Structure 1
Amino acid sequence: MESPSGAWDEVETKTFLTETTVPIRLSCHTPDGQLWMLSLWYALRNGTLHCATSKHADVVRYLQADNRVAFEISTNEPPYMGVRGNGRATIEPDENKTQLRSLIERYLGDTDSALADRLLNPEREEVAITITPHRLYTWDFSDRMADVAAQQR
């Protein structure tokens, strides 16, 4: 993983990305040059971000045409904090749904749900998306939002 700039060092960034289970907001270009953004589940492994989606999702076609991406992983409640950056995405088949199963377990705790059943349906073709970050920036507004966060508890 690239050394981040901003509020956190590499260890703090890895800790946040490993412990936080909010979706990654991923931005890419469509083949006609427009911008596209979507949210996906992710996991950090060996300095890269790993996602999964349907083989037939629009984003797969978009990333095959242009693999440059920007992303943000941030909290949705105060105090706001997170990681944003850019990099390149690669796509590989996830024939055994290994990546998808791992993400379901990370976000849902197990594969015992209607959503997991639908996603793991044998008829559904999956791909694994690996994002290799080139630039990372971190922020943490905990100090400046301490009173707001305390009011929400």
Structure 2
Amino acid sequence: MAGHGPARFSETVRRFLEASRVPGILATVGRSGGPVTSAVWFALAGDTILVSTPAEGTKARNVRADGRVSFIVDSKERPYHGVAIEGVATIVDDADLRQWRTIARRYLGDDVSPEMRTRAESGARAIIEVVPHRVRTWNLPDTE
């Protein structure tokens, strides 16, 4: 991705990502150099994607070692459509609980369990920020 600067989301892409409650698929670069994929909860923050993950887990470790990532969100229903992002990810060092809550509320509403809240407050969670450098879509309904 050398030479590519950050990309902006079109309004169509932004609306699709904001409306989706389907987990995204995050691919990081593993220790062997191959891709490691994971289903993840996410939220938008401007033109970046925020992902919550265990602070000492594989995703966080991989991002610290090599920030190149891919991220996909699709419709899971006909007619199939979605967004594929290539970008650079970093661990947000100054992440606060608001970011985690934003992500959790997208999928759970206000029904966040006390156990999940305790884990987030203990610092056991990290926020991965994905800055897109390339955004592709397929069959995305034009709602503009």
TM-score scaled to structure 1, two decimals?
A: 0.78
- Checking the alignment, whether the CA contact within 8 Å between 2:8 and 2:47 is kept in structure 1 is no
Q: State how 1:4-153 maps to structure 2 within 5 Å.
A: 10-93=10-93, 96-110=96-110, 112-113=111-112, 116-121=113-118, 122-123=121-122, 125-140=124-139
> Quick check: 18-27 or 120-129, which moved more?
120-129
Any gaps of 5 or more consecutive residues in structure 1?
5-9, 143-153
**In 2, Cα distance between equivalents of 1:66 and 1:103:** 24
- Checking the alignment, whether the CA contact within 8 Å between 1:94 and 1:127 is kept in structure 2 is no
- Checking the alignment, whether the CA contact within 8 Å between 2:95 and 2:127 is kept in structure 1 is no
**In 2, Cα distance between equivalents of 1:47 and 1:24:** 16
- 1:32 Cα deviation after fit: 2.4
**In 2, Cα distance between equivalents of 1:131 and 1:50:** 6
User: Deviations along 1:1-52, whole A, 9 cap, x unmatched?
Assistant: 7257xxxxx1111110111111110101112212200011111121111111
- 1:97 Cα deviation after fit: 2.5
Taking a change above 3 Å as real, the CA distance of residues 141 and 89 of structure 1, as seen in their structure-2 partners, is closer
How many pairs does the alignment contain? 134
Off by >3 Å, runs of 4+ in structure 1 = 93-96
**In 2, Cα distance between equivalents of 1:79 and 1:31:** 36
TM-score scaled to structure 2, two decimals?
A: 0.83
Taking a change above 3 Å as real, the CA distance of residues 141 and 129 of structure 1, as seen in their structure-2 partners, is closer
Amino acid at match of 1:26: L
Amino acid at match of 1:37: T
Local SS of the residue matching 1:17: helix
Amino acid at match of 1:130: E
**In 1, Cα distance between equivalents of 2:39 and 2:48:** 17
- Checking the alignment, whether the CA contact within 8 Å between 1:30 and 1:62 is kept in structure 2 is yes
Amino acid at match of 1:135: R
Report the aligned-residue RMSD. Answer: 2.0
Any gaps of 5 or more consecutive residues in structure 2?
1-5
**In 1, Cα distance between equivalents of 2:18 and 2:140:** 19
**In 2, Cα distance between equivalents of 1:94 and 1:118:** 22
2:7 matched to 1:2? yes
**In 2, Cα distance between equivalents of 1:85 and 1:141:** 14
**In 2, Cα distance between equivalents of 1:94 and 1:3:** 23
